[in-house]
Chain A
Amino acid sequence: MVMACGAAALFPLTTISLASSTATTSSLPIISASFCRLPHPQSPFCCIPTGATSIGGSSIRRRFLQLRASAAEEAEKHNVLVVNTNSGGHAFIGFWVAKEMRAAGHRVTVFTVGAETSEKMNKPPFSQFSELREIGVETVWGDPSSIGAKFGSNASFDIVLDNNGKDLEAVKPVADWANESGVGQFLFVSSAGIYKTSDELPHIEGDAVKADAGHVGVENYIGQLSFQSWASFRPQYMTGFGNNKDCEEWFFDRIVRGRPVPIPSPGLQLTNIAHVSDLSSMIALAIEKPKEAHGTIFNAVSDRAVTFDGLVRLCALAAGCEAKIIHYDPKALNIDAKKAFPFRNMHFYAEPRAAKEKLGWKSKTHLSEDLKARFQVYVTNGRHKKDIKFELDDKILDSMKVPVTI
């Protein structure tokens, strides 16, 4: 099998495979785990020389085909438990992971904090849980601190994703139970908010984190337990179906009503809005490649940052409207930026380098396209007609002496 590259005349690029003779047929001519990182029985490295029948005849080829087929059959089907928060920006990560794992043929249980009858269950993604049940995901409710009582110690889950706790107090019972129950892989949804701020961007895995952050305590603790594979995912902001928390809606609310969009100065603060499917694909890949993922922190973000002003422009484009940006200084106006604006008023920018390097993950977020799709949903839900009070906005605009309608 020969591949020629563009400059074939100058640098003939060839790929040759060579299988060994299978004199020792019991051992496969695949890389041994002793010095090569062979991840899985169903590793793609059981390969067959497709065209190279010249090497040792068709017997080798047949042997490889047999081995490969059996490896595929043995490809593990997992029993995944997602421990899920009942509110907040991370809530729908569990929803998407459940769907993705179920689509891959695994057994999935979503264990949501609290009671099924809670009012919180009226909001997305919980209001859409029937979609999970329809595809065979089991949905249960309860208190994670008594997870042992819930599932017993022989629950046969081999993978646990904690998409709930923000500190050790919340996660320890789950982690301990998983460890004792023989769970093979423990995954934790952490937060990119734990990185220490710096003049240098972006936040990359390995950078200093705030030592007192709850998530840090969890990450350190999980690493000390005896899971075959553990990993932590640090997300930022997300958009997508089933979001429990407003993201782009904040912008649509203003743009669609012809209101100026107040943005904390200078407006070029960088942030990351990822489509939640990027996160679920990253977590799915970590499940598929537990050895590569083991002991790793992953920034669970898309691979593009966007400025605040840029986000207004993209939302306006998605909505097919004009937008007017008003920059203001929250401190000067005595405004609490946390209440006035949905994102941290600073550069908050992480990059998903570990996922790319270790898992071969790729981002499929296209923010401009995603926002267009989200605007369709925004309108379909009738939110553009909703009567919303913009008290803080009015306060800001008043101080800046800006008229309310543009």
Chain B
Amino acid sequence: MVVMAAGAGAAMATSRPMHSVTTLITVDVRSTGSASFARRQQQQHKYEVASLSRPNLLEAAFTGLHCTDFGAFLCPRQHRFCSGISEVALQRSATHLQQSRKSRWAVVSASSGQTESKKILLMGGTRFIGIYLARLLVEAGHEVTMFTRGKAAITQQLADESDKDYAEFSGKVKHIQGDRLDFEGLKSKLSGTGFEAVYDINGREAVEVEPILEALPNIKQYIFCSSAGVYLKSDLLPHFEVDAVDPKSRHKGKLDTESLLQKKGVPWTSIRPVYIYGPLNYNPVEEWFFHRLKVGRPIPVPNSGLQVTQLGHVKDLAKAFVSVLQNPVAIGEVYNISGSKYVTFDGIARACAKAAGFATPEIVYYNPKEFDFGKKKAFPLRDQHFFTSIEKAQKDLGWAPEFGLVDGLADSYNLDFGRGTFRKAADFSTDDMILEKLGIKVAVAA
């Protein structure tokens, strides 16, 4: 990370994009003053010192930097070049200074785009989140290795990806074949590999993490894909990261994993998504609605349709995962990651229709208690309010979702379902049970 100091004077210096460990950049025309200060800091605190020499490059060098700590940021008046970073630092400082008048200094940290290349292990990576995450990491210059059983193709070309881009990506990404549930095999395959960071996208139980930690004792960061499903159901919403979790939830394994990482003293970060959607989604979220909209079927929604939930685009999630890499603010922290707004069940049906260019659907309501659907799911979402606040991630990581609900669903439709691809074939058996009971006849489009 880069620590910024400022002084008076006219001349400035730029930084080369430096690696992520502490770099002191002095912005001080009185070169003697800054040089001696820098020397002292170097001796005392062992920082790297980069002196900035060309003022017009300063702003470019600081693109993507954001203030991660509170404090004041002093910058000489003449230096308009400071404006970008100082404004951000000020903004951040202002909020933090409200909380604590003791801290004074702005710490500026480089975004991962300007950090050094890391050797990264991706557990999974071939199905959904990892597809987008791997690409971002490779683009950022990291060496990415996926660990999978090899059942699915290691890489697949995206619908909107050029042959050239795909060739470049698939050429760079590496693969270790193995079953992560074979703990001994996993450990031996990872030993000595020297991975610096792990993205654990498909871990379910805490016990699955141990062999990885044993094989990689010097791991610099363990980034875990958890789930907002760990939150205890509440009358007060949204869920914040500080809220109570449910030790009895279906996602208990995710909770146990977070606890294990904490206990082991590993530098870890946990991401809790809500419902993820986007092209190549293997969980039938938007696909479920698209199947019905395509053939003009009514959408059966349980109970009132007023249940409020939250969808997050997978590409925004991938960006969030990248934003925590090598980010000291994120160590030991949990982040809710999803869309900026929440939506009712009825609203999802209407948004899917709008995104895909279908007519506004007929929605029919039923009481799920009056049916026995067996093992089948009559509706893809849990029948309750389920949504989280993403403000911690926005504040700490400078991340924000780029997709709104309708344009996100349009992205999914245009690059996946709308091209005739989907993961699960349409199954309207539960729909027909519901419609029959409600006495509704379906005129299905051919």
Contact = CB atoms under 8 A, between A and B. Distances in A.
Contacts of A313: 235
Contact of A309 (B74, B103, B235): B235
B304 A268 contact: yes
B176 interface: no
B107 A36 contact: no
Interface in B19-53: 20-22, 24, 26, 28, 30, 33-34, 37, 40-41, 45, 47
A194 interface: no
Contact of A16 (B8, B24, B307): B24
Contact of B344 (A37, A44, A201): A201
Contacts of A148: none
B28 A3 contact: no
A35 B350 contact: no
Interface stretch (A5-13, A133-141, A212-220, A383-391): A5-13
Interface stretch (A21-29, A119-127, A394-402): A21-29
Contacts of A75: none
Interface in A253-285: 265-266, 268-270
A16 B405 CA distance: 42
Contact of B331 (A7, A30, A268): A7
Interface string A18-51: 1111111001011110111111000011111110
A11 B1 contact: yes
A19 B332 CA distance: 33
B341 interface: yes
A323 B37 CA distance: 68
B209 to A, nearest CB: 18
A15 interface: yes
Interface in B33-87: 33-34, 37, 40-41, 45, 47, 69, 71-77, 80, 82-83, 86-87
Interface stretch (A159-167, A236-244, A299-307): A299-307
Interface string B179-196: 000000000000000000
Contact of B45 (A2, A48, A50): A2
Given A24-B8, A266-B303, A305-B236, A202 B385 contact: no
B93 interface: yes
Contacts of B83: 35-36
A314 interface: yes
Given A18-B74, A20-B8, A360-B94, A201 B69 contact: no
Given A11-B331, A17-B71, A199-B350, A269 B306 contact: yes
B47 A14 contact: yes
A320 interface: no
A105 interface: no
Contacts of B28: 18, 20
Contacts of B76: 20, 29
B267 interface: yes
Interface string A301-339: 001111101110110000000000000000000000000
A253 B37 CA distance: 69
Given A11-B1, A13-B1, A19-B74, A47 B342 contact: no
A314 B235 contact: yes
Contacts of A356: 391
B162 to A, nearest CB: 34
Given A21-B33, A24-B8, A31-B90, A49 B342 contact: no
A200 interface: yes
A27 B389 CA distance: 43
Given A45-B90, A304-B236, A360-B94, A1 B80 contact: no
A17 B385 contact: no
B237 A200 contact: no
B47 to A, nearest CB: 7
A20 B343 contact: no
Contacts of B98: 359-360
Contact of A347 (B45, B75, B91, B344): B344
Interface residues of A, number: 73
B378 to A, nearest CB: 18
B341 A202 contact: yes
A289 B98 CA distance: 11
Interface in A63-94: none
Nearest to A357: B95
A314 B405 CA distance: 32
Given A15-B105, A18-B28, A265-B304, A29 B74 contact: yes
Contacts of B341: 200-202, 204
B97 interface: yes
Contacts of B87: 35-37
A2 B76 CA distance: 23
Contacts of B141: none
Contact of A15 (B37, B103, B221, B348): B103
Interface string A351-391: 00100110110000001100000000000000000000000
- For the residues of B in contact with A, the DSSP-based class is mixed
A95 B209 CA distance: 56
B139 to A, nearest CB: 23
A306 B236 contact: yes
A205 interface: no
A16 B3 contact: yes
Given A7-B267, A17-B71, A20-B8, A1 B105 contact: yes
Given A35-B80, A35-B87, A199-B350, A305 B3 contact: no
Contact of B8 (A7, A29, A200, A270): A29
B361 interface: no
A44 B101 contact: yes
B236 A11 contact: no
A104 interface: no
Contacts of B22: 11-14
Interface string B316-339: 000000000010110110000000
B333 to A, nearest CB: 9
Interface in B344-372: 344, 346-348, 350-351
B238 interface: yes
Nearest to A266: B304
B59 to A, nearest CB: 11
Given A47-B72, A304-B236, A10 B220 contact: yes
A16 B304 CA distance: 56
A33 B101 CA distance: 21
Interface string B139-154: 0000000000000000
Nearest to A31: B75
Contacts of B86: 31, 35-36
Nearest to A289: B94
B35 to A, nearest CB: 13
B37 A55 contact: yes
A379 B9 CA distance: 67
B117 to A, nearest CB: 16
Nearest to A312: B235
A292 interface: yes
Contacts of B90: 31, 36-38, 45
Given A17-B105, A18-B7, 8 more contacts: A15-B104, A18-B5, A31-B73, A45-B90, A47-B72, A200-B341, A270-B385, A360-B98
23 contacts: A1-B105, A6-B267, A6-B331, A7-B332, A11-B328, A13-B107, A15-B3, A16-B41, A17-B72, A17-B105, A18-B5, A18-B37, A21-B30, A27-B77, A29-B8, A31-B75, A35-B80, A36-B86, A47-B74, A54-B37, A202-B342, A292-B94, A359-B98
The 10 closest A-B pairs by CB, nearest first: A310-B235, A199-B347, A20-B8, A18-B5, A360-B95, A47-B72, A15-B105, A11-B328, A32-B77, A360-B98
